[in-house]
Amino acid sequence: MEQLCLNKDGVLERDVALKAVWGNDNYFTGRSMDVYITKIRKYLKGDPSIEIQNIHGEGYKLLF
């Protein structure tokens, strides 16, 4: 979550996030990040002013 906040309104590149959080960007850590992003979205769904967008082929974007 910290990486998303540090890149507020900018794109957090997927490979950068994977290396920062899990130390590498292989298939298994990629799936772990997908699960983690899903859990964050569920946690934040009560506040419609916060959104995590997937940016196809790049990464994620936190909007609030």
pTM: 0.81
Percent of the chain with pLDDT over 90: 67
pLDDT at 64: 87
Give per-residue pLDDT as tens, 32-56. Answer: 999 999 999 999 999 999 999 999 9
CATH of residue 47's domain is 1.10.10.10
Residue (of 11, 48, 18) closest to 33 by Cα position: 18
b/e for 14-52, b at 16 or more Cβ within 10 A?
beebbeeeeeeeeeebeeebeeebeebeeebeeeeeeeb
Split into its structural domains, the chain has a count of: 1
Distances (CA, A) of 19 to 2, 6, 44, 63: 14, 15, 24, 22
Residues of the domain holding 54:
2-63
Percent of the chain with pLDDT over 70: 100
